[in-house]
Structures are given as structure tokens and as C-alpha cells.
Structure 1
Amino acid sequence: MDDNKLPTLGSEALFFSCTGQTLFEGAIFVADRHQSGLMAIWISLISNIVLTIIKVTAGLLLSSPVLLADGVHNAGDIIATIAALTSSMVSKKPADDDHPYGHGKAEVVASAFVAIVLVLAALWIGFQSIGSLFKPPGEESWLALGAAAVSLIWKQILYVYTIRVGKATNSKSVMATAYDHLADVYASLAAVLGIGLGLVGDRYDWHWAAYGDPIAGIIVSLLVLKLAVEIGRDSIDILMERNVDVEKLAQFEQLLRNVEHVKRIDRVRAREFGHYITVDVRVGVPGAYSIQQGHDISRQIKQCIMDADADVIEVMVHLNPWYAEAE
């Protein structure tokens, strides 16, 4: 085809030019992802409330410091989950005059808040564990072990569920909630090991086993702190508008190479806004093309990238003139 006779592409052709996904299908997909993310956070919130009641009650009735500390930690998780739920609702609001790029970074703010909660939880667990090393060990009970085991299994199931939903929806608030569950898995595992060692020590008169709980708690505090740092660093990177990973940028460049009439790729940038991405591209097209032809190419580039990556909601295209004799 003669480059100067580039046809004007209609909207119907653009919708199917890359992957065959229509705008209507894309809207349904986004809505489904939103509902899946909200459902995961609601389940997490209800679970945290129930587990907090169980742990605090068991800790008080059974005089178990480790369960009581874990229950207080879970109470902090309730606050973090409420923040994640609120941010998830705010982030799905459409763009407006005051927020032309949408509200997606609300999820990132909530993710940073969860990181702060995890830091406080790590310090709390570490402080309690170190303090327990200098106190006479308490008596452990099988009921306390059962409560810790239930919490461990419950939180592991919640972690697997929320991490899958978080990755599927690319939701920072759901991912932060998942890592919060993982921190609880560590804490509950420490409780199970600590109480279990205490019970074994009572049976076989192993006095050293009574201190297994605080030692495990110290290790858990370091693991939780590591999680908090990773979540916080990721949130800061997004708030500072760091470029997306090089693999995703390479995918975008490959898509551009497959677009007819794109002769040169000058620049590709992309940034995250919580659960969605915006892309900026600069490409060279034949300088003799008309404005209408350039407009059609821009629309084709935009639709190709958005069809190929469901997380992309906006593509800004800048066209530069390209001349064969200048190459």
C-alpha cells in the first residue's frame, strides 16, 4: 500500500485491530476485577475481626501472653484492612476535573499505611518477645495451641486467596492486605511453635523449651519488618512515579513495532497509578502523512497497547516526522 494513501480506520476496526477485545468487554472485565478486589478485602476485614475476638479472649482466659499479643496485632490489622477497603473504593472513582488521572494512587497511600502498621507490629512483637526472655516462663495449654493453630491455618488460606486476587486485579490495596495476612501467618506460626515447645518442655522437663516462644517471636518480628520495608519501598516508588519494569516496557515496544506505518520508536514511558497504568510513547511516522492519517495511527497505537494489557487505561501518543532519506 502507498504510505500516502493510508486509509482512515473506523472505531470498529480499531477495537479488533490487536486482540479482538471490544470496549464493552473491557468495561465488564474491569468491573469484575473491582468486585473481586472488594470482596477479598471484605472477607479479610470480617476474618480479622473474628480472629481478634478469638485471640484476645483466649489470651485472657488462658493467661497466654503470646496469644494476647497476637490478638493486639490482629486489632491493628483491622485498622489497616479498613484503610485498604476505603482506598479501594476511592481508587475506582472515575477521573474528574481535580483528579484528571483518576484516583488510583489512593490504593498506594493505603499500601504505605499498611507498611507503617506492619512496622509497628514488628516492633511490638519484638519488644514483647525480648521482654519475655527476662521473665519466668508461663504455663502453656492445649487450648492455646489449638487457637494458635486455627489462626495459622485461617490466615494461610486468606493469604493464598488475597494474593491471587491481588495479582489478578493488580490492586495495591489487596496485595498489601495479602502481605498483612502473611505477617500474621508468621506470627501465628511463632505462637504454635512457642506454645508447642512449651508443652513438650513441660512433658519432658526441658526448661530451655519454655523460651522457644520469645525466640520465635524475635525471628518473626524481623520477618514482618522485612515485609513492611518491601511494601513501603514499592509504595514510595509508585508515588515518585518510577517507570514500570523493563520487561513491561519491552512488551510495549514490541507492540509498537508491530503497528503498521510506525517507522521509529523514539521513547516509551509508563507509570503506575495503583491498579492501572498510563503509557507515554513517541514514535516516528512518515512526515508526508496528513493530520487525519496521523490521528488514525495514534488511535491504533493506543488501542493495541490497551487491548494487550488490561492494566493500561490511557496511552498518550506523540508523533514525530520520519523521512527515509534522513535515516
Structure 2
Amino acid sequence: MARGHHSGLLAIWISLISNVVLTVLKVAAGLLLSSPVLLADGVHNAGDIIATIAALTSSMISNKPADEDHPYGHGKAEVVASAFVAVIMALAALWIGYQSIGALFRPAGGENWLALGAAFLSLVWKQGLYLYTVRVGKATNSKSVLATAYDHLADVYASLAAVVGIGLGLLGEKFHWGWAAYGDPLAGIIVSLLVLKLAVEMGRESVDILMEHNVSPEKLAHYEALLRTDDHVKRIDRVRAREHGHYIIVDVRVGIPHDYTIQQGHDISRKLKRLIMEFDPDVIEVMIHLNPWEAGEPVAN
């Protein structure tokens, strides 16, 4: 887990430094080349810096051990950061959509090849960052790293819109296509919808975790199947599990013969806990409650 946390922090640090560099380059290029689309993309990248700092801070907090005030650990700090990033992405989507719609009602501006090169560089850079961070995020099950990855994906969409828009503008100037001058705002509207969709999906996942939403039915079914492998378990009363950031906490209630000793019950609990934790490395705690079962009562299938 420590190695995974280090990998996640490294991915976020690389993302933060990249966002700072890209913001400076895009804003400078937008001002020097008089390119509104690059300038808007640079402002959008500035918001990414705030989101990445939030992800970095939460990743550091989430790895702190449990204490008296936080007995279940600090894993949900990553979920809070993920929700924060989702809000920033949603605001960015609305900003891109607003600017794109407004551009449709303004005279089209000229484009140049340097602006196209800057937009293409941003596209390739962000695509590489997305592939890297999403791989690390899935490997470490880090919500903050995955939030950073999806933020990069939103930037890929925005940079792609800039490439398409500037490219259409250049082609329009060469072949005298009047409509091509509005390729950038049209692409921007499509991008704003894609980014908004990403933000809503990420925000919904964060809210589900904060509201103690159960893990997937498939995962719960696997846990139940493991419990049934122990002959001492005569009845499964309840199995619940919730994500707590990058780890899972499982709550189990099972019935065992009522005449077992405390020591026997303790040994069964330890065995069941070990079964689940060995099956799912994301589980860091299994809370098991033993209920009495008497002969003649229904038995777990």
C-alpha cells in the first residue's frame, strides 16, 4: 500500500508541474499570437492547477493512519477531493460552452500555424498524462489520482477542440470556406457537453461513496460465497461493504451454532476476515458480528 501511495503522489506531482507549465505556455501563446481559444484554454488550465493541488493534498491526508477522531482512517479525503475536482470540471464545461456560444455571434478571427502547433502540443501532452495517471489510479485504487486522470481527459477534449477549430480556420482561409471560421466555437460546444458528462459521472460516484453506498452486487456476492465455504457458518444474516477512499470496509453478520465457545467464535471470525482480505486486497477491515444459530433453523445455501 505504501508503494502504491508513493506512485499516486508521484503521478499527481507530475500532473501539477505539467499543468503549471502548460498554463504559462498557453496564456503566453494566446497573448502573443492573439489567439482567444488558446487564451481560454490557458485559463481553463489554471483551474486545473487548483484541482491538482486539492488532489495532492487529499492524497497526503488519506494515507495518514487512523486516530481517535478518525477511527476508520482518512481515506475519504480523496473522495472529497474527487468531488471538488468534479465541481471545477463542471464549471470549466460551463465556461467553455458559454465562450463557444458567444463566439458564434462575434466576427470570426484569423488563425495561425503557431497557435495550431501549441494546441497540438497540449493535446499530445495531456493525452500522455491521462494514460499515465489513469493507469496509476486504477492500480492503486486512488480516487484523487483517478480524478486527476479524468481532469486530464477533459483537457484532451478541450485541446482537441482547439486543434480542430484552429485547423478548420486555417483551411477556411486557404480554401475560402466561410463556415470553417466557426469550427472552433462549434467544437467547443461539443467539448463542453463531454466535459460536463465526465464531471457529473465523477461527482455522482463521489456522492455515492460519501453517502456510504454499497459496493457492487458482484463484489458482495463474492464475499458471501467466501463466507459459505466455512462449514461453521450456518446462516448469513447480512453482508455490507463501503468504499472509504482507496480502501474498503466490510461489515458481516453470520449465524454459528449457539453452543460454541467464545474461543471458537473468535477463531471463526479471524478465519472469515482472512478469507475476505486475501480475496480482495482493497479491504483493510472486516467487522464480523456472530449471531447464535440453533439446530432446526434454516441453513445458508
| TM-score normalised by the chain length of structure 1 | 0.90
Q: CA deviation at 1:284?
A: 1.3
Q: Which amino acid aligns with 2:31?
A: L
**Matching residue of 1:79:** 50
2:79 is aligned, of 108, 112, 116, to 108
Q: CA deviation at 1:325?
A: 2.3
Q: CA deviation at 1:320?
A: 1.2
**Matching residue of 1:288:** 259
**Matching residue of 1:211:** 182
**Matching residue of 2:163:** 192
1: distance between equivalents of 2:119 and 2:224? 50
**Matching residue of 1:120:** 91
Structure 1 residue runs of 4+, over 4 Å off? none
**Matching residue of 2:140:** 169
1: distance between equivalents of 2:72 and 2:11? 25
Cα deviations by residue, 1:79-116 (Å, 9 ceiling, x for unpaired) = 00000000000011000000111111111110111011
Q: Which amino acid aligns with 2:18?
A: S
Q: CA deviation at 1:285?
A: 1.3
Q: Which amino acid aligns with 2:6?
A: Q
Q: Which amino acid aligns with 1:40?
A: A
- RMSD in angstroms over aligned alpha carbons? 0.9
**Matching residue of 1:261:** 232
1:136 maps to 2:88: no
2: distance between equivalents of 1:250 and 1:140? 57
Q: Which amino acid aligns with 1:88?
A: S
1:98 is aligned, of 39, 62, 69, to 69
What is the percentage of aligned positions where both structures have the same residue?
78
Q: Which amino acid aligns with 2:154?
A: A
1: distance between equivalents of 2:29 and 2:240? 53
**Matching residue of 1:4:** none
Q: Which amino acid aligns with 1:228?
A: A
Q: Which amino acid aligns with 2:199?
A: A
Q: Which amino acid aligns with 1:173?
A: S
Matches within 5 A, 1:1-327: 30-327=1-298
Unaligned runs of 5+ in 2: none
Cα deviations by residue, 1:66-90 (Å, 9 ceiling, x for unpaired) = 0000000000000000000000000
Unaligned runs of 5+ in 1: 1-29
Q: How many pairs align?
A: 298
Partner SS for 1:326: coil
Q: CA deviation at 1:303?
A: 1.3
Q: CA deviation at 1:287?
A: 1.6
2: distance between equivalents of 1:43 and 1:248? 33
Q: CA deviation at 1:324?
A: 2.9
Greater shift after overlay, 276-285 or 316-325?
A: 316-325
2: distance between equivalents of 1:259 and 1:81? 46
Q: Which protein, 1 or 2, shows the higher relative CO under an 8 Å CA cutoff with sep ≥ 6? A: 1
2: distance between equivalents of 1:59 and 1:215? 19
Q: CA deviation at 1:259?
A: 2.6
2: distance between equivalents of 1:80 and 1:226? 17
